[in-house]
């Protein structure tokens, strides 16, 4: 369901991307039914960071919020250690950035959405 790999332009010593295998354009395409997928993206990414020896306690984890996306395929950034990020990386992946949101922010957003109807879900496929 998920693939994790190194970012080609790392913002810190460790910078991984956790992506669903199925195509989802971005966070705004997610529904309430995708909460478990979002959690799986985070869990898989954290496991990969840990296997590499990165400090998962000093990690910045989040999604770019549309329209501030550079790739049209949902991906979760896992960056560690935060202390090794430069000024430009802090702008792009900053914790106070309106265009970089945490997993918890995305899950909170999804929980507030109405339940998807069967017809709507089929129309999106």
Write out pLDDT tens, residues 90-104: 888 988 788 899 999
Dump pLDDT digits (tens) for 44-83: 999 999 999 999 999 999 999 988 888 999 999 999 999 9
CATH number of the domain that residue 27 is part of:
3.30.428.10
Domain-embedded: residue 47: yes
Q: d(Cα 53, Cα 71) in Å, to the nearest integer?
A: 27
Domain-embedded: residue 124: no
pLDDT at 119: 54
Domain-embedded: residue 125: no
* Helix, coil or strand: residue 37: helix
pLDDT at 82: 94
Taking residues 105-111, what's their average pLDDT?
A: 96
User: Closest Cα partner for 78 from 14, 35, 3?
Assistant: 14
Is 23 designated active site? no
Taking residues 4-10, what's their average pLDDT?
A: 97
pLDDT at 7: 97
15, 64, 75, 77: the active-site residue: 75
Least confident of 24-28, 73-77, 120-124: 120-124
Q: Are 76 and 17 in contact (CB under 8 A)?
A: yes
Domain-embedded: residue 24: yes
Domain-embedded: residue 121: no
Residue 118 scores a pLDDT above 70: no
Residue 34 scores a pLDDT above 80: yes
* Helix, coil or strand: residue 49: helix
Query: What is the total count of domains within the chain?
Result: 1
Q: Are 30 and 110 in contact (CB under 8 A)?
A: yes
Domain-embedded: residue 31: yes
Q: Structural domain of residue 11, as residue ranges?
A: 2-112
* Helix, coil or strand: residue 79: strand
Domain-embedded: residue 105: yes
Domain-embedded: residue 27: yes
Dump pLDDT digits (tens) for 14-25: 999 999 999 999
């Amino acid at each position: 369901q998920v693939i994790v790999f190194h970012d080609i332009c790392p913002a810190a010593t460790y910078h991984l991307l956790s992506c669903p295998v199925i195509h989802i354009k971005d966070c705004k395409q997610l529904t309430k039914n995708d909460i478990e997928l979002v959690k799986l993206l985070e869990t898989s990414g954290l496991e990969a960071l840990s296997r590499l020896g990165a400090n998962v306690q000093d990690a910045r984890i989040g999604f770019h919020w549309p329209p501030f996306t550079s790739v049209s395929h949902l991906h979760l950034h896992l960056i560690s250690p935060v202390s090794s990020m430069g000024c430009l990386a802090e702008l792009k992946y900053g914790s106070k950035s309106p265009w970089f949101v945490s997993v918890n922010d995305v899950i909170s957003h999804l929980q507030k959405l109405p339940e998807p109807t069967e017809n709507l879900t089929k129309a999106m496929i």
